[in-house]
Amino acid sequence: MGPGNEQVKRIIQHKRTGQYLMKSGQWTSNFDDAHQLPNVLAAVRLARTLGLQEAELVLKFEDGRYDLRLDL
């Protein structure tokens, strides 16, 4: 990973509830408890493994203007 990768957090969020996926596979409303994924591929694999529906990958940057949401 190059410099700057620490500036983005990769988390899975439920579209309808707004909750975040934890490492345990449960959902939480607390962003700080969300499972931080190492990369986009890991997020896609996890979503498929868990059979998640209505979920999206959120790329959260230090500067929120650049946040990005991707359907999973």
Q: 52 near 45, Cβ under 8 Å?
A: no
User: What are the tens digits of pLDDT across the range 5-18?
Assistant: 458 999 999 999 99
Answer yes or no: pTM beyond 0.75: yes
Question: What does the pLDDT read at residue 46?
Answer: 96
- How many other C-beta atoms can be found within 10 angstroms of the C-beta atom of residue 8? 15
User: What are the tens digits of pLDDT across the range 11-47?
Assistant: 999 999 999 999 999 999 999 999 999 999 999 999 9
β-strands 68-71, 20-21 pairing: unpaired
